[in-house]
C-alpha cells in the first residue's frame, strides 16, 4: 500500500518534469505500458516458482524481491528533469545571476518554457483549498473511490471461485493439497491475462488520445467494463474455470483505461497551479482507500453471505462511478494549463514566454 501510493505519483511527476506537458501523455503511456509488461512477467515468474516449489510458496516472494531490487538500481538512472515542471508549474526560469550553462535547453521541445531572468522561487503554488475544492478533482476522487471499492474484491472472489472449481472437478474431496496447487496457475493466469490486456489497452488508448479522442469517453469505457464483468462472473460461476478466467479480459480493459487516463486528467486539471503532485497523491489515496475497503468489506460479505452476494454488491457499487463521471465530469482534453481559477491561485511575480 505504501509503495503503490508513492510509485505512481512519483513516476508521473518525473515524467512531467522530464518531458513537459505536451509530451507527457505519450511518455506516460509508454511508462504505464512497460509497467504492465513488468507485472505480467512477475506473475509468470512468481506463479511458476509457487507451483514448482509448492507447498513452499514463500519462494515466489524472492522473485518479487528481486524485481524490487532491480527497480531500486535502475531508478538511480532516471533523469530528474525540471523539478518546477514536475510540480505542475510552467517551467523553472533562470535567475539573472545564473551562468548560461545552468540554463536548461528547451529549444528541441516546443512545449517547454524559455528563461525569463527571474528566480524559480518566485513561483507560488495555488492554495491547497483551491485545488482540493476544485470540482473536477472532487469528481475524480469520488469516481476512483467507488470504482476501486467495487473492483478490488472481484479478483479475490474470482480466485476463490476458480479454486473451488479445481477442487470440485479435478480432484477428490480429500486431495486438498493438489487442488490448492492447481489453483496457483489459475490465479497467475488471471493476473497475466489482465496485465496483457492492460498493455494492449494502453497502446490503443495512447493512440486514440494522440488522435484527439477525449479523456471522458475512454475513462467511461473503462468504468463500464466493471459491472459487465461482475455480471458475467455471477452468470458463469458454475461454468468452469475457463469461463471465469476469460472475464479478466474486461478487467484488463477497465484497469488499462483507468490507469492511463487518470494522470492525463490530473495534468489537465492542475498544470500551471504547481499542485500536480498533490492531486496525484490525493487521488491515489482515494483509490487506495476504496481498494482497502473493498477487500475488507467484500471478504466479510463472502464469509457471511457467499460469493454471489459479494459480487452483486460490487455490481451495484460499480454503477455509482459511471453515473457520477458521466453526469458531472467535463471533458478535459486540450485544457491543460488553461484553468483560470487555479492559474489565478498560483500567483507569480514573473512573466513566462511559452514557445508555441
| pLDDT digits (tens), the chain, 356 positions | 677 778 888 999 999 999 999 999 999 999 999 999 998 998 888 888 888 888 788 888 888 888 889 988 988 888 888 888 998 888 654 433 444 443 344 334 444 443 344 444 567 888 888 888 899 999 999 999 999 999 999 999 998 888 776 555 544 544 555 556 777 788 888 889 999 999 999 999 999 999 999 999 999 999 999 999 999 999 999 888 889 999 999 999 999 999 999 999 999 999 988 999 999 999 999 999 999 999 999 999 999 999 999 999 999 999 999 999 999 999 999 998 776 556 555 554 444 444 33
Using CB atoms within 10 A of its CB, is residue 199 exposed (0-12), middle (13-18) or buried (19+)? buried
Residue 352 confidence (pLDDT): 40
Set of cell numbers at residue 37: 509488461
**pTM score:** 0.83
DSSP track, 154-209: HHHHHHHHHHHHHHHHHS-TT-HHHHHHHHHHHHHHHHHHHHHHHHHHHHHHHHHH
Cis preceding-peptide flag for 151 (omega within 30 of 0): no
Dihedrals phi, psi of 304, to nearest 5 degrees = -100, -30
Give the Cα separation of 153 and 292 in Å (integer): 9
Task: Write the Ramachandran bin of 115: left for phi over 0, alpha for psi from -120 to 50, otherwise beta.
Answer: beta
Angle at 158 (CA atoms; ends 155, 161), nearest 5 degrees: 155
Give the Cα separation of 114 and 105 in Å (integer): 8
- Rounded to 10 deg, the angle between the 2-52 and 276-305 helix axes is 50
Give the Cα separation of 128 and 177 in Å (integer): 54
Instruction: Give the DSSP H/E element, type plus range, for residue 250.
Output: helix 248-270
DSSP track, 196-231: HHHHHHHHHHHHHHHTT--HHHHHHHHHHHHHHHHH
Give the bridge partners for 354, in sequence order: 113
Give the Cα separation of 250 and 151 in Å (integer): 11
Give the bridge partners for 348, in sequence order: 123
Residues 221, 201: contact at Cβ < 8 Å? no
What 3-state class would DSSP assign to 89? coil
Amino acid at each position: 500500500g505504501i509503495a503503490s501510493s508513492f510509485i505512481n505519483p512519483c513516476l508521473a511527476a518525473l515524467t512531467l518534469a522530464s518531458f513537459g506537458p505536451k509530451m507527457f501523455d505519450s511518455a506516460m503511456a509508454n511508462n504505464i505500458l512497460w509497467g504492465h509488461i513488468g507485472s505480467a512477467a512477475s506473475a509468470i515468474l512468481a506463479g511458476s516458482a509457487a507451483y514448482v516449489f509448492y507447498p513452499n510458496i514463500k519462494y515466489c516472494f524472492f522473485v518479487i524481491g528481486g524485481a524490487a531490487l532491480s527497480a531500486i538500481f535502475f531508478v538511480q538512472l532516471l533523469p530528474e528533469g525540471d523539478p518546477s515542471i514536475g510540480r505542475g508549474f510552467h517551467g523553472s526560469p533562470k535567475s539573472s545571476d545564473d551562468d548560461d550553462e545552468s540554463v536548461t535547453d528547451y529549444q528541441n521541445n516546443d512545449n517547454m518554457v524559455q528563461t525569463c531572468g527571474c528566480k524559480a522561487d518566485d513561483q507560488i503554488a495555488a492554495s491547497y483549498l483551491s485545488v482540493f475544492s476544485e470540482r473536477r478533482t472532487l469528481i475524480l476522487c469520488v469516481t476512483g473511490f467507488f470504482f476501486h471499492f467495487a473492483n478490488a474484491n472481484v479478483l479475490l472472489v474470482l480466485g476463490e471461485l476458480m479454486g473451488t472449481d479445481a477442487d470440485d472437478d479435478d480432484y477428490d474431496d480429500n486431495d486438498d493439497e493438489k487442488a490448492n496447487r492447481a489453483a496457483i496457475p489459475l490465479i497467475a493466469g488471471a493476473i497475466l491475462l489482465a496485465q496483457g490486456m492492460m498493455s494492449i489497452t494502453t497502446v490503443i488508448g495512447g493512440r486514440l488520445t494522440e488522435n484527439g479522442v477525449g479523456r471522458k469517453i475512454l475513462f467511461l469505457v473503462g468504468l463500464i467494463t466493471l459491472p459487465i464483468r461482475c455480471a458475467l462472473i455471477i452468470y458463469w460461476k458454475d461454468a468452469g474455470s475457463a469461463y471465469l478466467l476469460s472475464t479478466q479480459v474486461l478487467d484488463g480493459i477497465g484497469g488499462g483505461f483507468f490507469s492511463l487516463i487518470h494522470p492525463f486528467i490530473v495534468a489537465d486539471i492542475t498544470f500551471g497551479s504547481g499542485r500536480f503532485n498533490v492531486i496525484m497523491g490525493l487521488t491515489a489515496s482515494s483509490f487506495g482507500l476504496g481498494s482497502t475497503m473493498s477487500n475488507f468489506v467484500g471478504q466479510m460479505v463472502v464469509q457471511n453471505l457467499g460469493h454471489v452476494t459479494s459480487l452483486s454488491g460490487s455490481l451495484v457499487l460499480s454503477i455509482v462511478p459511471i453515473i457520477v463521471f458521466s453526469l458531472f465530469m467535463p471533458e478535459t482534453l486540450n485544457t491543460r494549463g488553461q484553468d483560470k481559477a487555479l492559474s489565478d491561485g498560483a500567483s507569480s511575480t514573473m512573466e513566462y514566454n511559452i514557445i508555441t
